Amino acid sequence: MFSHVTKIPYKDSTVYIMNFKNLDHFLEEVKDDFELNPIFENEHSLTGDASFTGTSSYEEAWKLCRFTMNKGFEQFYKKFQSLNYKLSYHEKKIDSFSVVGYVPSVPRYLLGIPTSMHSYRTEKEEKAIHIYMNMAYSCYQNEKQIENRGLIVLNLVTYLESRGYKVDLFTYEFSACDDEKILITVPIKTALEKLNIKKAYFPLVHPSFLRRLLFRAKEKMPVKNWEWKYGYGYPMEYQEAVQFFDYYHPDFEKEKTLYISTPSEMGVKGENLDLDFDRFLETLNTNYQNREKQKVKTKG
């Protein structure tokens, strides 16, 4: 089991937290089968079938992530480029019209000027936007939902960087089982790095990142409740996760932090990428505005 896990009490539960330094550190820690928690004796990271995980074995998943040997990347990249055009089109609509009736631009809300044209703050290049993406989706989320959400997030990060923002991108797996919770965070890129789309493709788009690699990390967590063995817990919903992050990181720049929840919670159905894109942005902006309103109420 991992020896460097942080354990903290939270409400009526215990939260086991494992923060990895980066993707390479994560892959190094999960590449072997030593020190597994006997609670996870079923080892779903190894036994999951290809229809569920998208890979034929754990070894295949690890190598695909480590060496960016990603099948279908060219087709994926074509979809990525089409979304890039669509995001630019949304920006043009806002330039010409009021924000009312249109999907708002995420950067405008982050800047606190949802109806302005191009009056960006001059200090924007000195500040980072922190994106936390929940990878703990349920077994009912299908491969197209997972892929479309990943496509949209990668496109959003690229868009923000093209506007001069520095972006931290973290993935996290936050799940619960009775009175225990597991939180695992894996940074995909820091604000000092440009997004490497090929490297980020597997963690954000492929179901094996959760269903094999993150499951392997979970199998090394020192939890004590034997109920974990059956379904590996259930994913924390958006509001619950945000409340915990606010508690765990009270010094966060909340106005510069975006939380991306499961595909279903973000409105991603996996049937139509364009519609998924629109629903995703609408949900992201609604969640952000609600957090801003809550912050005002708290101050009041």
Is 96 within the bounds of a domain? no
State the pLDDT at residue 77. 75
pLDDT attached to residue 250: 80
Q: Is residue 43 part of a domain?
A: yes
- Residue type present at position 52: F
Whole-model pTM: value is 0.84
Number of compact structural domains in the chain: 1
Determine the Cα angle at 147 with ends 43 and 77, to 5°: 130
DSSP strand E in 156-209: where? Answer: 166-177, 180-189
Low pLDDT (below 70) residues in the chain: 69-71, 84-127, 295-300
From the number of C-beta atoms within 10 Å of its C-beta (0-12, 13-18, 19+), residue 85 rates as exposed
User: What DSSP string runs through 70-97?
Assistant: -TTHHHHHHHHHHHHHHHHHHHHHHHHS
Amino acid in position 245: F
In a domain, 29, yes or no: yes
Residue 216 amino acid letter: R
pLDDT in tens, 212-260: 999 999 999 999 999 999 989 999 999 999 999 999 988 777 778 899 9
Residue 43 Ramachandran class (φ > 0 left, ψ -120 to 50 alpha, else beta): left
Do 144 and 270 meet the contact criterion of CB atoms below 8 Å apart? yes
The range of the structural domain enclosing residue 269 comes to 6-71+127-299
Token representation of residue 31: 């590449």
In whole angstroms, how large is the CA radius of gyration of the chain?
19
Per-residue DSSP letter, 285: H
